[in-house]
């Protein structure tokens, strides 16, 4: 505004006469809009005002449109819009102004160098008006003075009056029933077909009351708009039809739908002009394509008005004013006569009459004198070649010379299917001069694997070589059917490389691809074209579509012995076949000249088998392979899915497979004390673990959270004690769950002596030595194990269980390395989420369970992880699933707990107030500015800083006080959360509140204290002893709220005393939130659990929820789990979060 300060602001509308309300005796004196008041908040300067007056004086600006109405949302007061155009010479511009009674709402001006935008609601743009805008306002002021539009009636009042008016009119209609019969209230369409010069067919409609006069619809677009808006439309000079009070006949409803389709399809064209005219007809519909089909279907069997324009009648010059629509059979008659030249037969003259056929989508159509006929599309297509050569009077006439009569009579006439009329003389002449019908013969041979073909066209005893055509040897004799021979030649040139000029044969020229294609399918093509003769040399070449494979499987000690054989090829060639398959070749040529079709499923299975078992080339040549026994289940699955591979299994292998397929019927006795405690599916889990142990395998018990993985593990440990299977076992768990394990063991297996490793380093060493000698089970944490790993070097454990096994998902961490160096006979992992973010996490767990099972990490990443995650490779995904599925047992609550109460999940949205929105938007702008112009490498370099800013944004969503200590505004989510808590308590419910921000829990703590609501709290600093104490107390008393840090208490806790779970903020990983929910929704829960996810509306939190869904597909593909990760966000994904 500093530049404008030197100029003089003026108020050109201040002299508008405002009549005092007391002086208004005539409504004509009342004016609702006052231009001086409207322009009070914009700036008009004298120099711009003078320019505006000059524009008006030169007639360079005019009003195009002024209208008034109400907005759909928000303000219900009357508002106005004015549209003006200005021009000077060829240069044009436009002005659009939206205004209310109180002010200008927005302005848009463009053209002649005036580019100005102003939006009062967002304070966007400059409020200083330019000349065209001022001129528009002056014209608007004149309009308001003249017409005095509007008053203070708001949209609610209008709606009320409209409803009352409808009711009054309805009552009036009922009273007038004696004067107006029901027939008079029913409306209908009357169509009229017009054929323009025998070519284009269009339809127009008249419309009116069923028993009254009908009026031509001149503009279908205006007509449909009035119908759609239920407004009035004028027909003729004085007839007005109000679409609110009419009823359409059933047939007219179909026409209305027909018109609607036309209007919707052509609306854009009808509302734009080019060179001064509308680009589509407004009052008629050209019947083409689907319009033709739809119209005919509506009026099929009826007689309607018809007019034929132009001088070209189809069968006569008579114009019919009526036409019937009906389905007909169309038969074309062709008269054939000889053409004689000085007594010589030159050919035939063909004549006939054929109507002009128009094509719809599904049918063909034509018009005769009194009929608009429909024929099958197949008939229309058959006659289509003839219709292209008909003249203006629908007559067809052409001559066929002697050289072409063979093709014409033998192929063309048969394809068209017309009725042919020839007299006896013509028939005799045609038969006399008709050449013999051509027959094609193909003689194929193979020399040293190269395939050649001698192709012949035989006309009776006269034989020609087809290779004359590509070699252009001589002009073709008159007898030869050029078109057919050229077609056969084109097929041969596709099958072969070309023609050998020396031999005149079609030749593959040692191109193996061509030779294979001929053997695989080319011979069948040639058989369809003519006679095929092959030599013995060619006949001896075989294409094998299925390679015979046999596999012998046996178990010796702890190894699986596999012998691979084939009756079709030797072992060294088997290796070559696999190499060709991996190069994605279509076939492999054997040394004896035969071909192997590499689309064979047996070869695909063999390739996957060799890759999975990492069989070397040398082993494959020898045919004898030994692999670890844990490959047995994968091998059985692969063989089961491919019955084309013949197998011979020894008794030991069969026994192993049988026991894994019938685990629930296995002979492992469950400890008697647990028989009545454990559920059916838990007993299956126990037997599954015991079966794995029997064969020296490890496995992942991956049951859904809350299904009792701990109890199933304890049952295995108890069985070992009761069956005197000696040895101490080790359980490694997060520090927060050490005492939980101790309590669960004491509860379910009090005879097991359990030792807990805690205290100082020396105390832990002494405790370990003592417990290793005296205890059945030792429990330690991941953190303590990695510190104490040297204390375990000389110890051998019977079982090793790792709980919450996702703790070792990063195989390079000390926690992962430490559990893997422990010596143990049998290893198991417990986790509800074997895959949280990456497939490498699954590799790390299996590297602990059975080292080498998923290869070394580099091989795993190259062969499986990258193809699955980067290339969505279904084969790799299937291969991994087939490998790991026997060693992962996963059951969901929905599958096994039919008696578990309902879990009701709901997203509870919180909307920011103005101050919190301002703070949030500022953070969005900051991050966008950081991202602006960054390359991918710069983005990756600065990702840590960006993610920190992203965390700040999420903290603002929770409560701006987490970031700004002096923030005094409201927090939408804090208020929302406290309302949920208070309502829950009033309803007798108890709540778990999870947040990843401990500082947010501290703010909620303040609110709970203020409202005098009792609570417990667990965060990372809470001691293990206190955690166990708080959980036990919460499940046994009435304290209504438990505040829990997502990472400190999201796993391992049993809090079935609560039936309301509140997730205060969304975490990137959906599985983490699900784990937290399952602290309450688990075995022992007797009430329905309500889960509330608090989400700040129109923020990054909504995008996180979408991202959770998008990124959960990876583990679904392997074991139906869930995942999500922030660190893998691309720049594009981050920008999408901010949008």
pLDDT tens-digit map of 1078-1089: 877 777 777 878
Report the distance separating Cα 284 and Cα 278, nearest Å. 13
Res 155: pLDDT = 77
- Helix and strand numbers, DSSP H then E, in the chain: 43, 49
**Across 361-369, average pLDDT:** 88
DSSP-derived pairing of the beta strands 498-499 and 506-507: antiparallel
Average confidence (pLDDT) over 109-124: 80
Mean pLDDT of 286-292: 91
**Alpha-carbon distance 1002 to 1022, whole Å?**
14
784-790: which pairs have CB atoms within 8 A and are 24 or more residues apart?
Answer: 784/735, 784/757, 784/758, 785/732, 785/815, 785/818, 785/819, 785/822, 786/814, 786/815, 786/817, 786/818, 787/761, 788/757, 788/761, 788/764, 789/818, 789/821
Quick one: pLDDT band at residue 28, thresholds 50, 70, 90?
A: low
Q: Which structure tokens are listed for 717?
A: 């440990």
CA distance 287 to 265: 14
Give the C-alpha distances (Å, rounded to integers) separating 579 from 429, 460, 551, 788.
Answer: 66, 51, 20, 50
Q: What is the model's pLDDT at position 279?
A: 56
What is the pLDDT, as a whole number, of residue 1139?
A: 62
Q: Is the pLDDT of residue 763 over 70?
A: yes
Three-class DSSP labels, 458-484: EECCEEEECCHHHHCCCCCCCCCCHHH
Nearest Cα residue to 694 out of 719, 672, 730: 719
Confidence label for 986 from pLDDT (cuts 50, 70 and 90): confident
d(CA 954, CA 1107): 15
User: For helices 1131-1138 and 943-958, what crossing angle results, to 10°?
Assistant: 20
Average pLDDT over residues 439-446: 94
Q: Give the integer Cα–Cα distance in Å for 843 and 400.
A: 78
Dihedral angle of Cα 706, 707, 710, 713, to the nearest 10 degrees: -160
**Burial 388-400, CB ≥16 within 10 A → b, else e:** eebeeebebeeeb
Q: At what angle do helices 651-661 and 680-694 cross, to 10 degrees?
A: 160
d(Cα 550, Cα 547) in Å, to the nearest integer? 10
CA nearest neighbour of 188 among 253, 259, 252? 252
Residue 345 pLDDT greater than 50, yes or no: yes
Task: Identify the pLDDT of residue 184.
Answer: 44
| Residue 863 DSSP class | I
Residue 18 tokens read as 């405002």
User: What tokens appear for 1139 in the block?
Assistant: 């949008």
| pLDDT surpasses 50 at 904 | yes
pLDDT mean across residues, the chain: 83
- The two domains 662-896 and 903-1138 share their CATH topology (first three levels equal): yes
What is the rounded distance in angstroms from the CA atom of residue 1013 to the CA atom of residue 979?
A: 13
Q: What is the DSSP letter of 580?
A: H
The tens digit of pLDDT for each residue in 843-868 reads: 999 999 999 988 898 989 888 888 88
pLDDT at 1097 over 60: yes
Quick check: 704 pLDDT over 90? no
pLDDT at 1117: 52
Contact 1069, 1042 (CB under 8 A): no
CA distance 557 to 563: 17
Tokens of residue 309, six digits: 């324009």
Q: Reply yes or no on whether the pLDDT at 608 is more than 90.
A: no
For the segment 401-414, the average pLDDT, to the nearest whole number, is: 85
SS3 content of the chain, % helix, strand, coil (to 5): 45, 25, 35
Altogether, the residues listed in the chain come to a count of 1139
pLDDT at 1130: 66
What is the average pLDDT across 439-461? 91
Q: What are phi and psi of 434, to 5 degrees?
A: -75, 120
Residue 180, pLDDT > 70, answer no
Q: How far is CA 900 from the centre of its chain?
A: 33
Least confident among 152-161, 235-244, 764-773, 820-829? 152-161
Give which of 462, 493, 489, 491 is closest to 478, Cα–Cα.
462
Fill in the DSSP letter of residue 185. G
Predicted local distance difference test score (pLDDT) of residue 843:
92
At residue 350's C-alpha, the angle toward residues 349 and 353, to 5°, is: 145
pLDDT at 297: 93
The pLDDT of residue 173 is: 43
Of the candidates 442, 620, 587, the residue with the CA atom closest to the CA atom of residue 524: 442
| 1124 — pLDDT class (breaks 50, 70, 90) | very low
**Rounded Cα distance, 578 and 343, in Å:** 73
Residue ranges of the domains in the chain?
4-157, 183-286, 324-433, 439-539, 543-659, 662-896, 903-1138
**Each residue's pLDDT tens digit, 906-930:** 788 788 888 999 999 888 888 888 8
Spatial separation of the C-alpha atoms in residues 454 and 698, rounded to whole Å: 66
* Span of 20-34, 82-96, 1050-1064 with lowest mean pLDDT: 20-34
Q: Nearest CA to 660 among 640, 646, 644?
A: 640
Q: Going along 270-343, which residue ranges are E strands?
A: 273-274, 277-278, 285-286, 303-309, 322-327, 333-341
Q: Which of 264-268, 820-824, 917-921 comes out lowest in average pLDDT?
A: 264-268
Q: What is the pLDDT of residue 1009?
A: 93
Sign, CA dihedral 753-757-760-764, equals positive
pTM attached to this predicted model: 0.50
What is the pLDDT confidence band of residue 265, given thresholds at 50, 70 and 90? confident
Indicate the range of 36-50, 150-164, 835-849 predicted with least confidence.
Answer: 150-164
| pLDDT tens string 553-594 | 888 877 888 878 777 888 778 888 888 888 888 888 888 888
Q: Is 448 helix (H, G, I), strand (E, B) or coil?
A: coil
- For residue range 710-759, what is the model confidence (pLDDT) as tens digits? 999 999 999 999 999 889 999 999 887 888 798 889 989 999 999 999 99
Whole-number pLDDT of residue 176: 40
pLDDT at 1057 over 60: yes
CA 257 to CA 270: how far, in whole Å?
18
Give residue 1048's pLDDT.
77
Assess if CATH 3.30.420.40 describes domain 662-896: no
For 184-218, how does the pLDDT look when each residue is reduced to its tens digit (9 = 90+)?
478 899 999 998 766 688 999 999 888 888 999 99
Reported as type and span, the H/E element at residue 602 is helix 601-612
Percent of the chain at pLDDT > 90 equals 33
Residues whose CB is less than 8 angstroms from the CB of residue 117 and which lie 6 or more positions away in sequence, other chains included: 106, 107, 108, 109, 124, 125
Model confidence at 1111, pLDDT cuts 50, 70, 90, reads low
Provide CATH code, domain 903-1138.
3.40.50.300
Tell me how far apart the alpha carbons of residues 173 and 33 are, in angstroms, rounded to a whole number: 38
Beta partners for residue 909, in sequence order: 1095
Q: What angle is formed at CA 42 by the lines to CA 41 and CA 43, rounded to 5 degrees?
A: 130
Contact 825, 799 (CB under 8 A): yes
pLDDT reading at 700 higher than 80: yes
Do residues 205 and 217 make contact, with C-beta atoms less than 8 angstroms apart?
A: yes
The reported pLDDT for the residue numbered 674 is 94
């Amino acid at each position: 505004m500093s530049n404008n300060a030197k100029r003089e602001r003026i108020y050109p509308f201040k002299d508008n006469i405002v009549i005092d309300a007391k002086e208004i005796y005539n409504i004509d004196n009342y004016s609702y809009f006052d231009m001086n008041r409207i322009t009070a908040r914009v700036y008009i300067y004298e120099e711009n005002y003078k320019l505006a007056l000059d524009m008006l004086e030169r007639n360079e600006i005019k009003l195009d449109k002024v209208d008034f109405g109400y907005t759909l949302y928000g303000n219900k007061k009357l508002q106005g819009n004015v549209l003006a155009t200005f021009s000077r010479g060829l240069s044009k511009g436009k002005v659009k102004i939206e205004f209310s009674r109180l002010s200008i709402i927005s302005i848009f001006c463009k053209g002649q160098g005036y580019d100005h935008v102003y939006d009062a609601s967002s304070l966007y743009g400059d409020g200083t008006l330019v000349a065209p805008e001022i001129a528009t306002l002056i014209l608007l002021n004149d309009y308001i003075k003249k017409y005095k539009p509007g008053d203070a009636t708001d949209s609610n009042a209008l709606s009320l009056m409209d409803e009352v008016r409808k009711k009054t009119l309805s009552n009036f209609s009922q009273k007038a029933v004696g004067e107006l019969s029901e027939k008079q209230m029913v409306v209908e369409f009357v169509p009229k077909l017009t054929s323009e010069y025998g070519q284009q067919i269009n339809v127009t409609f008249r419309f009116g009351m069923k028993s009254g006069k009908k009026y031509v619809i001149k503009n279908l677009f205006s007509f449909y708009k009035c119908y759609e808006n239920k407004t009035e439309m004028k027909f003729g000079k004085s007839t007005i039809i109000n679409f609110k009070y009419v009823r359409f006949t059933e047939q007219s409803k179909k026409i209305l739908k027909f018109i609607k389709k036309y209007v919707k399809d052509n609306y854009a064209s009808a509302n734009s002009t080019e060179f001064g005219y509308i680009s589509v007809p407004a009052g008629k519909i050209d019947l083409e394509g689907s319009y033709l089909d739809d119209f005919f279907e509506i009026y099929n069997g009826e007689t309607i008005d018809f007019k034929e324009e132009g001088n070209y009648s189809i069968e006569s010059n008579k114009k019919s004013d009526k036409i019937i629509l009906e389905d007909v059979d169309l038969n074309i008659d062709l008269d054939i006569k000889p053409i004689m030249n000085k007594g010589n037969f030159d050919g035939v003259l063909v004549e006939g009459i054929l109507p002009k056929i128009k094509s719809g989508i599904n049918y063909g159509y034509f018009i005769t004198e009194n009929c608009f006929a429909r024929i099958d599309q197949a008939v229309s297509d058959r006659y289509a070649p003839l219709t292209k050569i008909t003249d203006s009077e629908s007559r067809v006439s052409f001559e066929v010379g002697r050289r072409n009569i063979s093709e014409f009579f033998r192929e063309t006439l048969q394809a068209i299917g017309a009725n042919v009329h020839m007299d006896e003389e013509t028939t005799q002449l045609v038969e006399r001069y008709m050449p013999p019908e051509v027959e094609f013969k193909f003689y194929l041979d193979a020399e040293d694997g190269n395939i050649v073909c001698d192709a012949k066209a035989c006309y009776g005893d006269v034989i020609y070589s087809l290779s004359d055509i590509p070699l252009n040897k001589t002009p073709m004799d008159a007898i030869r059917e050029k078109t057919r021979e050229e077609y056969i030649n084109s097929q041969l040139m596709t099958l072969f490389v070309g023609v050998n000029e020396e031999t005149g044969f079609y030749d593959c020229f040692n191109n193996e691809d061509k030779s294979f294609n001929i053997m695989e399918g080319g011979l069948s093509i040639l058989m369809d074209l003519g006679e095929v003769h092959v030599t013995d040399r060619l006949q001896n070449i075989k294409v094998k579509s299925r390679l015979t494979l046999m596999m012998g499987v046996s178990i010796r000690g702890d190894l699986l012995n596999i012998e691979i054989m084939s009756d079709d090829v030797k072992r060294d060639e088997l290796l070559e076949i696999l190499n060709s398959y991996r190069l994605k070749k279509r076939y492999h040529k054997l040394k004896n000249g035969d071909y192997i079709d590499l689309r064979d499923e047996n070869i695909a299975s063999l390739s996957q088998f060799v890759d999975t078992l990492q069989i070397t080339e040398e082993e494959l040549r020898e045919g004898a392979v030994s692999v670890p026994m844990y490959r047995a289940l994968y091998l059985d699955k692969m063989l089961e899915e491919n019955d084309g591979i013949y197998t011979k299994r020894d008794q030991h292998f069969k026994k192993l497979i049988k026991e894994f397929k019938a685990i629930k019927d296995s002979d492992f006795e469950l400890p008697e004390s647990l028989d009545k405690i454990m559920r059916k599916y838990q007993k299956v889990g126990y037997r599954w673990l015991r079966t794995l142990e029997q064969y020296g395998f490890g496995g992942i018990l991956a049951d859904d959270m809350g299904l009792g993985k701990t109890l199933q593990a304890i049952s295995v440990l108890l069985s070992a004690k009761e069956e005197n299977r000696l040895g101490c076992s080790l359980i490694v768990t997060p520090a927060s769950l050490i005492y939980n394990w101790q309590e669960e063991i004491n509860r379910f297996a009090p005879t097991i002596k359990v030792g807990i490793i805690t205290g100082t380093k020396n105390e832990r060493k002494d405790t370990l030595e003592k417990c290793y000698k005296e205890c059945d089970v030792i429990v330690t944490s991941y953190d303590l194990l990695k510190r104490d790993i040297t204390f375990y070097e000389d110890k051998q454990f019977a079982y090793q269980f790792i709980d919450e096994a996702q703790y070792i998902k990063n195989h390079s961490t000390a926690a992962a390395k430490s559990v893997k160096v422990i010596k143990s006979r049998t290893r198991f992992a417990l986790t509800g989420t074997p895959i949280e973010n990456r497939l490498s996490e699954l590799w790390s767990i299996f590297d602990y369970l059975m080292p080498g099972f998923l290869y070394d990490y580099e091989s795993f990443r190259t062969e499986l992880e990258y193809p699955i995650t980067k290339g969505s490779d279904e084969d790799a995904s299937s291969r991994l699933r087939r490998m790991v599925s026997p060693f992962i047992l996963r059951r969901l609550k929905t599958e096994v707990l039919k008696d578990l109460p309902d879990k009701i999940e709901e997203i509870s949205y919180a909307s920011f107030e103005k101050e919190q929105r301002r703070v949030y938007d500022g953070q969005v702008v900051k991050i966008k500015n950081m991202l602006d112009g960054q390359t991918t490498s710069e983005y990756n370099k600065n990702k840590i800083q960006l993610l920190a800013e992203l965390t700040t944004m999420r903290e603002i969503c929770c409560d701006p006080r987490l970031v700004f200590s002096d923030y005094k505004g409201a927090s939408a989510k804090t208020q929302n959360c406290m309302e949920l808590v208070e309502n829950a308590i009033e309803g007798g419910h108890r709540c778990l509140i999870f947040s990843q921000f401990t500082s947010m829990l501290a703010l909620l703590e303040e609110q709970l204290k203020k409202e005098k609501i009792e609570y417990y709290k667990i965060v990372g600093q809470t001691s293990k002893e206190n955690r166990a104490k708080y959980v036990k107390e919460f499940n046994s008393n009435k304290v209504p709220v438990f505040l829990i840090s997502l990472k400190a208490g999201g796993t391992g806790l049993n809090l079935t005393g609560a039936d309301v779970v509140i997730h205060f903020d969304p975490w990137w990983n959906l599985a983490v939130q699900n784990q937290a929910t399952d602290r309450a929704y688990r075995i022992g829960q007797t009430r329905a659990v309500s889960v509330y996810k608090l989400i700040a509306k129109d923020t990054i939190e909504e995008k996180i929820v979408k991202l959770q869904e998008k990124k959960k597909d990876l583990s679904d593909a392997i074991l139906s789990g869930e995942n999500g990760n922030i660190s893998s966000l691309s720049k594009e994904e981050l920008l999408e979060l901010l949008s």
